[in-house]
Amino acid sequence: MFSPTIIIEAMINGLLTGAIYALVALGLTLVYGVLHIINFAHGATLAAAMFAVWGLNAAFGIDTYWTIPIVTPAFFVLGYVVQRFVIGPAAHGDDGNILLITLGISILIENALLAGFGSDTRSIPSDFSFAIVEAGPFLLSSARLVGAAGSLVVAILFWLLMSRTDTGKAIRAVAREKLGANLVGINVGHIYAITFGLGCAALAVAASLLMPTFYVNPRIGGAFVNIAFTVVVLGGMGSIPGAMAGGLIIGMVESLSGLLLGESLGQIGIFIIFILVLLLRPTGLFGAKA
Amino acid sequence: MIGRGYLPIILVTLLIAATPLVISSNSFFNFTVLVLIIALAAQGWNLLGGIGGQTSFGHSMFFGIGAYTASMLQTHLGVNAWLSLVAAIAAGALAGLIVGFLSFRAGLRGSYFALVTLAFAELLRVLANASELTGGAAGLLLKLDPGFANMQFSSRPTFMLLALAFVFASLVITQKIVNSRFGAHLVAVRENEDAAKALGVDVLTVKLKAISLSGAMTAAAGVLYVQYFLYIDAGIAFGIWISIEALLAPMVGGRGMVLGPLIGAFTLHGLGEITKSFAGRVPGIDLIVFAIVLIVVIAFASSGILGLLKKLADRFSSKEGA
């Protein structure tokens, strides 16, 4: 039915998109791994970051990729503050409460964006969005290649941060045993907030990398939150290599099922994987324990 | 002789039932019908999430199954509306049983359970949006034909009384469950599943019973929705909005408390209307208020409005005694 070239091209494009999904999922899985909470507001935060990128471009004409040094620290601080002063104190240490608070935050962000920007869909049009690289018989989008490369760089930076720095060591200690970490003098609340901020910072980078080829509207977070949860669950909740592998797999599944089933049914592949993994192997591919 | 807990239910129901005697504004009845439909859907959530402690993020799946079963039976097969209602409630219970069997047997709890319910609802939304049986993206229209046999009423107060009757039934059923041994088991599972199991509670059966009753109630709300608006599409039926409404109302009113969903739904939507009248036509402003109320309730009054009232009453009576 389809020539091998089309299928392979779809797979490569899927991998490229998947790399950005991995970046979106990175923050979610990091927060889960350390704080043991599901941040339901992850998708809405991404939507907010995409609006920030769009706004900087629309207002000051800053090129999409050059918004990274602005939005990334801004979202790190935002994430830190929200975790330290809203989620942490409001949850009283109950996991169910945290889930519901992040749900509340996601409703809040989504509707604040709706109230502020209306429900219109926006994009950043530029020639680069349509630029194509020819690789043998395949035509690949330049913006997606840059996106995938950017995701890889961020993943490496994360790995260096986690393995080589004192902060990374502290984060790993808190993830492993928070009482013990507290006893040796690590400020657990501070580390929680830093982790949450890092998750938001990763989203800001993802937003900048996504904007050349994606569009944004206040409801866009919903689509990404489903994908990100699937990636995280597939890779194993809390596992960073799992999120990377899961992102690539999901990107490919989405691209192939879109090709075979059409746009409207294409998403089904993702939900089915999500449900099957949760029901059959909730620890995912790389997770150690449930 | 009225059993424990039934007096407030009867009083609240009578209070709402009496409103047509003093109010004649159609917008009031539109408001109340929607709030009652949400309260019914939310009572379904409360049974499973409030009393049973199994937080669902996807109760729209039951709402949608109820709405679509009722409208598909009527439009495609010409089945009577009341029979369709019974079938829709049964379908909701069955869906609850299936989803519950799959996820509880797999040992999903807490956040994992919330995510899997969300995934089921989203899966159904995509399917309903694509399938011809459900009218695809265009949705399904019920033929306007007012009359008792078709469960359509041109008078809004009459429909409000019908919705109220459903809510009353859901309140009585929930109170009966709370007073029963099954209710005690459900609370035990919520408080400490492992301890409940050790004491001989059949945890899986208790959860399955709760989720199928929950699905049935929320499905009935879906039927009421479609009988009132005579239209359904995938975004309404399986949309995240009703999953959130079904969860917010009990959270705000008092989770696990029989009157929590009804009080919560009235409070939230009352606040929503007040905000809209101040802020004008800013899209999403009511949901912003809902979200802030949710966060504030969790932070400062985790047992909701009813819990707060109870605490105040206890403090007052203990001062009286001292």
Partnered with residue A138 across adjacent β-strands are A135
pLDDT at A289 over 60: no
- Mean pLDDT, to the nearest integer, of B209-216? 97
pLDDT at A287: 63
A193 close contact with B: CB closer than 8 A: no
On chain A, the residues whose CB falls within 8 A of the CB of B100 are: none
Evaluate whether A221 touches A44 at the Cβ level (below 8 Å): yes
DSSP strand pairing (A138-141 vs B140-141): unpaired
pLDDT at A288: 53
pLDDT at A279 over 90: no
On chain A, the residues whose CB falls within 8 A of the CB of B287 are: 107, 110-111
Share of chain B above pLDDT 90, in %: 64
Q: Which of B110, B122, B287 sits opposite A111 (nearest CB)?
A: B287
Tens digit of pLDDT for each residue in A21-58? 999 999 898 888 888 888 889 999 999 999 999 999 88
pLDDT at A90: 84
Tens digit of pLDDT for each residue in A165-200? 998 888 888 888 888 888 888 888 899 999 999 999
**Confidence category of residue A97, pLDDT binned at 50, 70, 90:** confident
Count the Cβ atoms, other than its own, within 10 Å of residue A229: 24
pLDDT at B20 over 80: yes
On chain B, the residues whose CB falls within 8 A of the CB of A101 are: 294-295, 298-299
**Burial class for A95, CB neighbours closer than 10 Å (0-12, 13-18, 19+):** middle
Residue A278, both tokens:
């949760």
Name the CATH architecture for the domain at A4-122+129-280: Orthogonal Bundle (1.10)
Q: What is the mean pLDDT of chain B?
A: 91
pLDDT at A290: 39
Tracing tokens 């009232």 back to the chain, one arrives at: B309
pLDDT at B158 over 70: yes
pLDDT at A66 over 80: yes
pLDDT at B205: 94
pLDDT at A274: 86
Tell me, yes or no, whether B1 lies in a domain. Answer: no
pLDDT at B321: 53
Q: Between chains, do A119 and B283 touch, taking CB under 8 Å as contact?
A: yes
**Among A101, A117, A257, A279, the residue to mutate for chain B (most B Cβ within 10 A):** A279
Partnered with residue B141 across adjacent β-strands are B231
Which one has a higher pLDDT value, A262 or B26?
B26
**Domain count of chain B?**
1
- Per this entry, what is the length of chain B? 322
Give the H/E segment covering residue B140: strand B140-141
DSSP strand pairing (A132-135 vs A138-141): antiparallel
Q: Between chains, do B291 and A282 touch, taking CB under 8 Å as contact?
A: no
Q: Which of B103, B120, B298 sits opposite A101 (nearest CB)?
A: B298
For residue B257, which of B297, B191, B296, B307 has the smallest C-alpha distance? B307
pLDDT at B189 over 90: yes
Separation of alpha carbons B279 and B288, rounded Å: 12
Phi-psi region of B23 (alpha: psi -120 to 50; beta: other; left: phi over 0): beta
B298 Cβ contact partners less than 8 Å away, ≥ 6 residues apart: A90, A91, A97, A100, A101, A104, B251
Separation of alpha carbons A77 and A65, rounded Å: 20
Partnered with residue B147 across adjacent β-strands are B152
**Confidence category of residue B120, pLDDT binned at 50, 70, 90:** very high
Show the DSSP H helices in chain B as ranges: 6-17, 19-22, 26-45, 60-77, 81-105, 110-130, 156-179, 181-191, 193-198, 203-229, 234-237, 240-253, 260-279, 285-300, 304-321
Tracing tokens 């409103």 back to the chain, one arrives at: B19
Share of chain A above pLDDT 70, in %: 98
Evaluate whether B219 touches B41 at the Cβ level (below 8 Å): no
| C-alpha R_g of chain A | 19
Tens digit of pLDDT for each residue in A71-85? 999 999 999 999 999
Separation of alpha carbons A260 and A26, rounded Å: 28
Which one has a higher pLDDT value, B247 or A282?
B247
For residue A14, which of A258, A218, A216 has the smallest C-alpha distance? A258
- Mean pLDDT, to the nearest integer, of B177-184? 94
Mapping DSSP to helix (H, G, I), strand (E, B) and coil, where does residue A139 land?
strand
Evaluate whether A268 touches A42 at the Cβ level (below 8 Å): no
For residue A229, which of B107, B212, B53, B58 has the smallest C-alpha distance? B58
State how far residue A117 is from chain B, nearest Cα, in angstroms. 10
**Among A97, A111, A280, the residue to mutate for chain B (most B Cβ within 10 A):** A111
Tens digit of pLDDT for each residue in A213-246? 888 888 888 888 888 888 888 888 888 888 889 9
Residue B126, domain CATH: 1.10.3470
pLDDT at A277 over 90: no
**Burial class for A55, CB neighbours closer than 10 Å (0-12, 13-18, 19+):** middle
Q: Which of A38, A100, A119 sits opposite B251 (nearest CB)?
A: A100
pLDDT at B99 over 60: yes
Mapping DSSP to helix (H, G, I), strand (E, B) and coil, where does residue A138 land?
strand
Count the Cβ atoms, other than its own, within 10 Å of residue A213: 20
In the A/B pair of chains, how many CB contacts fall below 8 A?
A: 123
pLDDT at B1: 55
- Domain around B316: 6-321
For residue B208, which of B27, B313, B54 has the smallest C-alpha distance? B54
pLDDT at B3: 75
Tens digit of pLDDT for each residue in A143-152? 888 888 888 8
Q: What is the DSSP string of B146-167?
A: -BGGGTB-SSHHHHHHHHHHHH
Q: Which of B114, B129, B282 sits opposite A115 (nearest CB)?
A: B282
